[in-house]
Amino acid sequence: MKKILTFTLALILLLNLTLITDSTVYAKGKRFHDLKTTDWFYETVDVLTSQGLIDGYPDGTFRPNDSILVSEFITLVVRIKDKSVKNGTLIWYKPYVDRAKELGLVLDGEFDTYERNITRGEMAKIIYRALSSEEQVSSDKDLEKYKDQIKDFNTIPLNLKTYILKSYATGIMAGYPDGTFKPQNDANRAEAATMIRRLIDKNFRQIPKLVQKHEKLVVNGENLTVTNKEVIDPYYKIMEIMNNSNGYIREYKADNNNLIDIYYLPKKDSYLHEYYMNVLVYYNPQDELEKNYPYFIAVKILNEDTKKILEETLKVLYPKTYKSIYDYFVDLYENGPVENTGLEKEGKQENRRYKIYNRGYTGVEIEIGRLEN
């Protein structure tokens, strides 16, 4: 009887330990009802809840798409700095706000209320202050390199620019797909969790690739006089695309000093008339047509390589809507009339005009316009 009682007690203790372990995992947030393992933020939420930095709701949800409040974001950042802070009795977030002020994360009077949604600009300010003093030290010259990559930088309030540049340059906060930052926008809980993880884990940060801005146009060692400055950066991007292809690239400056002529050839010793693809860039336009349409692409042989060059080149000039132009161009080449029918389509996307021509047996061409205001 004593052995049976001992075994029973041992079994109960084992079951209790199992239940305690299981409930602990649940409390750490690894089983939120509204999260799937395929969610892009799942791992981040899992990591942060396991470290006790972020919580779910009493109903077992995380609500990743809900906006995050000022009080909630301050709490997340304070927990990184001081895990000893606990919820208040009357106002749960007051101890976190008080500690944030002691740590210099928040200033007195900076927020009229802590119970509204926090903006991305305000988050950048707190993130900047939370960075270590070593990370905060960055010359204006270093930060200046990134401001051209934020398309709405000139409209960002002056008192937020340094904070946003720093949070962007360190890879903690990212812009939107269209290249803007939108400091006035709210962020949701999944996005905030991602920022917090990047703040504490440098290996998780996504440092933006610094895009080199060219001031001069140099072709075959010659520094060209450029009147159409707009074409400089696209030219270098197009050349990079073509040089990374499987063909042989030759470029020439026209004798009248108005355009650069770039040829994609199938072989190293191919003659120019054997080109598969030809791109013109008018850097010193001589007439209204060259001024209004500074880019020209002709595809005589459409294969996988020239398709890729065409798509990537259109993406340089139409980063958001290139696919529709590309699809039409390819379809016209593959299924269009065999005779030269001339202009087939014209339109305007992302403030650039375009004209697509069917040249029958000699391929398809597109004229691409200047960037209009």
What are the tens digits of pLDDT across the range 77-120?
Answer: 999 999 999 999 999 999 999 999 999 999 999 999 999 999 99
pLDDT over 60 (residue 14): no
The 10s digit of each residue's pLDDT in 304-348 is 999 999 999 999 999 989 999 999 999 999 999 999 999 999 999
Every domain of the chain and the residues it spans: 2-204, 217-368
pLDDT at 27: 37
Predicted local confidence at residue 13, as pLDDT:
34
Cα–Cα nearest to 195, from 309, 340, 44 = 44
Position 1 scores a pLDDT of 44
DSSP secondary structure, 307-365, as one string: HHHHHHHHHHH-TTTHHHHHHHHHHHHHHS-SSEEEEEEEEEETTEEEEEEEEGGG-EE
For residue 134, the model assigns a pLDDT of: 55
pLDDT of residue 223: 85
Q: What is the pLDDT, as a whole number, of residue 214?
A: 67
> Which region among 2-6, 130-134, 155-159 has the lowest average model confidence (pLDDT)?
2-6
- The pLDDT assigned to 282 comes to 95
**Cα gap 65→119, rounded to integer Å:** 15
**pLDDT value, residue 6:** 42
Residue 306: which H helix or E strand, with range? helix 304-317
**Structure confidence by residue, pLDDT tens digits, 243-283:** 999 999 999 998 888 899 999 999 999 999 999 999 999 99
pLDDT in the model for residue 217: 81
- Give 1 or 235, the one with higher predicted confidence: 235
The yes-or-no verdict on residue 25 having pLDDT over 70 is: no
Dig out the tokens for 120 from the structure. 């991305």
Q: Tell me the pLDDT tens digit for each residue of 32-47.
A: 989 999 999 999 999 9
State pLDDT tens for residues 191-220. Answer: 999 999 999 999 999 888 776 666 778 888
What predicted TM-score, i.e. pTM, was given to this entire model? 0.55
**CB 143, CB 99: distance < 8 Å:** no
Helices (H), 28-63: 42-50
Question: What pLDDT, on a 0 to 100 scale, did the predictor assign at position 220?
Answer: 83
- Please provide the average confidence, as pLDDT, over all residues in the chain: 87
pLDDT for the residue numbered 133: 56
Q: Given a cut of 50, is residue 232 above it in pLDDT?
A: yes
